[in-house]
Chain A
Amino acid sequence: MPSPRYHREIPARYRLEAGRCTGCGKVAYPVRMVCPHCRGREFEALRLTPTGRVITSTVVHVPPDEFLNEAPYAMAIVETPEGARFMTQVVDCDPSEVGPGMDVELEFRLIRKEGQSGILCYGHKGVPAGVG
């Protein structure tokens, strides 16, 4: 992954920075220029609460090369209290435990490595709520 592309995503990935549309109140995560719901162009900055609920999920058994040794792993669409949804792994539990309705906390983790000598890429993953 080229560094500039990674660097631009740091606010969203490291700090869960999002934007609430001042027109319709819906939250865009990551931030965008145009609200997909009302086409508004003004947003108020906010940081998502690092907790969420699983909307749907799967367990990946055949992974992409970069995730070879992590398989099988659970991936889920997680919704935060602000109504923002994003997709990430859910870890520190048996993947089969992950399902719709599960409450998770979001922890800072290493998401991927760019091969042997490339940069390390971080972000948030879900862990079962209450396990911390």
Chain B
Amino acid sequence: MREVAIIGTGMTSFGELWGQSLRGLFVEAALGAMETAGADTLDSIYVGNMSAGLFVGQEHLGPLMADHLGMRGVPATRIESACASGGMAIRSAFFEVASGASDLVLAAGVEKMNDGADVTGVLATASDQEEEVYYGITFPGLYAMIARAHMAAHGTTEEDLSWVSVKAHRNGAKNPKAQFRRVMSLEDVMGSSMVAEPLRLLHCSPVTDGAAAVLLCPLDRAKEFTDRPVKILASGAATSTLSLAQRPDPSHLDVVELSGKRAYEMAGLGPDQIDLAEIHDCFAISEICCVESLGFMEPGKGGEGAREGITDLGGRIPVNVSGGLKSKGHPVGATGVAQAVTVVEQLRGEAGELQVEGARIGMAQNMGGSGASSVVHIFQGA
């Protein structure tokens, strides 16, 4: 396989973007990626999107987006893995370039959630319709059960969860693209209304519109486009049960551990060599479980991460310096690509106030459902 680099990135603001449509968001981000690379052709396009069909009644996004991008004729398709759609789009693009089949491949994620759909109902399609949703569970409810199991097994507290949100907002306040740019205190988080015990409103990522894009090409052509390419060292992915009841241990995100292991193996390195990570914090508990499953913290100790500053900007392993899904926003299909955009900017030294000093190797981990799919990419700056 050839080595692959990211040569351009693009991202819209994240938020309630009433004036922007699904296709408009995609084009804005995609153009950003192409223009920062100075590329004017594409060999292939992967659109990461969870559910445009249910949110805005639109399927068949490949040709639609190719056309609107001015790339009529270019092969394009949608990649879906619930909230991991974006990361999986990058993975597909990566292999198409690595295989030698294509040179310039765009991976762009987009989600338009605020056009009046029943968001709770649509998001629930990421979980098991027959076994879970039928009985009245919600997405927060599933993560709430994971939280409760983690608290029972490891003594994690509601305060531990809340520190994750506090950290997210502290970082997001400095991210010009973030949906929420307001610092939140521990009291703000712990006083917010209950959604599904023990998760409160401010433990949950918001409903967001947005898009993000990365342009890939073979490493040995990267210099034609940029003098600061970022190499994709690895892509690791895995699946687990959709239904939480079928998961061997509800407190353990085995899918994250497996996808992480595969990525570390492919990259030939371990958690200690990662300088920063963008991790899937759809709910505060997921960041805690993921830092454990990715080997950044001991099993059961994930709750100490945000609380003790270990995962702060400036800490041993900065997690979600972008503000994470919580503060930056979570346009479902776009998130995985937005994570990659953050890591690429960090590895190029372009992150401003949020820059992790000397960042050379970064990770993006993107998860679908209540831990049913996960994809991990490891990147290296030049």
Contact = CB atoms under 8 A, between A and B. Distances in A.
**A and B: interacting chains:** yes
Interface of A: 9, 30, 36, 55-67, 70, 72-73, 75-77, 85-89, 99-100, 111-112, 121, 123, 125
Contacts, number: 100
B121 A9 contact: no
Contacts of A57: 145, 148
Contacts of B148: 56-58, 99-100
21 contacts: A9-B130, A36-B241, A56-B146, A56-B251, A58-B196, A58-B199, A62-B120, A62-B140, A64-B120, A65-B118, A65-B121, A72-B194, A86-B245, A87-B135, A88-B135, A100-B148, A111-B134, A111-B135, A112-B134, A121-B134, A123-B135
Given A60-B196, A64-B133, 13 more contacts: A36-B241, A55-B149, A56-B148, A58-B144, A61-B197, A63-B138, A64-B136, A72-B194, A73-B136, A75-B135, A87-B137, A87-B245, A99-B148
Given A57-B148, A100-B152, A64 B124 contact: yes
A17 B175 CA distance: 52
Size class of the contact patch on chain B: 35 or more
Contact of B145 (A56, A61, A62, A123): A56
Contacts of B131: 30, 86-87
Contacts of B251: 56
Contacts of A99: 148
A111 to B, nearest CB: 6
B138 A64 contact: yes
A77 B244 contact: yes
A61 B246 contact: no
B191 to A, nearest CB: 15
Contacts of A121: 134
Contacts of B121: 64-65
Interface of B: 118, 120-121, 124, 130-138, 140-141, 144-149, 152, 193-199, 241, 243-246, 250-251
B138 A87 contact: no
A58 B134 contact: no
Contacts of A72: 194
A30 B121 CA distance: 23
Contact of A61 (B135, B195, B244): B195
Of B146, B152, B198, most buried by chain A (CB within 10 Å of CB) is B152
Nearest to B132: A87
Contacts of B246: 36, 85
Contacts of A66: 136
